[in-house]
Structure 1
């Protein structure tokens, strides 16, 4: 039994290590699979409560660049003095970020309130590190989170 536990823990450690390395290197295969898992499995679970008071996550409401369709995407906005920072673990090439950049704004639901936001800009980790809580800085370093979307509240 002890040997089985050791094998299971070893497999988990290797999988976690591979995950961290894949995220740090921005592996297209890993990121595409993770995005699909998030879209199909996590979004339906998280979206109903995202943005509510006391929740750590929020929702960004945006319009498709070509379809014109309205979308709601769960995100983890970090309040800053004049708006929000949103980490971009899959880079700024994700559709929701491209939609916000193209439109010049969106609506962010966070902590029970709705915020119209404008002036989206992609910033590097170095540009925002001083605004981030220590735990986010640590996670950003581990996973090589190098891009953040900054939006200003109207």
Structure 2
């Protein structure tokens, strides 16, 4: 009896490890079928659950609100943000293919929900990890290396961008 229980537990653990390794390899290699599978899994299942608390006070997950390029609808997507002096940085584990990112880049602006507040952001730029990776916390740098995240999205607070424009004039 115990042998069956241990064998079953071992098989479940081995399967979980195998799936994790496949996920990491798919992300590092930027293998499009694997990325597409993970994106759809997140969009169809995990994002809905994450949006229940994302952006609320004390939540580790934030929300980016953007307007669709074609539909004009407002979309909310859970993301992880890292604060910087003039805005935030978002890791892009799927590269530049997600629709929310295309929407933000096309519009040149968005809003982020953080700790119950809403902040306007502007001047979105895709930058390399080499360029801004030093601004990430140590754990995030480790995760970025593990999953092969080479691109990040840099967002500026709208007020900071407006102040910079006034100074430049």
Residues 1:105 and 2:109 aligned together: yes
Gapped regions of structure 1 (runs ≥ 5): none
Q: Secondary structure at the match of 1:19?
A: helix
Query: Which sections of structure 2, spanning at least 5 residues, go unmatched?
Result: 159-169
RMSD: 1.2
CA distance in 1, matches of 2:10, 2:67: 49
Q: CA deviation at 1:80?
A: 0.8
Determine the C-alpha separation between the residues in 2 that align with 1:142 and 1:31: 15
Instruction: Measure, in 1, the Cα distance between the counterparts of 2:77 and 2:10.
Output: 39
> Larger Cα Rg: Structure 1 or Structure 2?
2
1:136 to 134, 140, 164: 140
TM-score (norm 1): 0.94
Higher helix share: 2
Cα displacement (A) at 1:56: 1.0
Structure 1 moving runs of 4+ over 6 Å: none
Aligned counterparts of 1:131 and 1:59: Cα–Cα separation in 2:
20
SS in 1 for 2:52: coil
Instruction: Report the equivalent of 1:15.
Output: 19
Matched, 1:80 2:84: yes
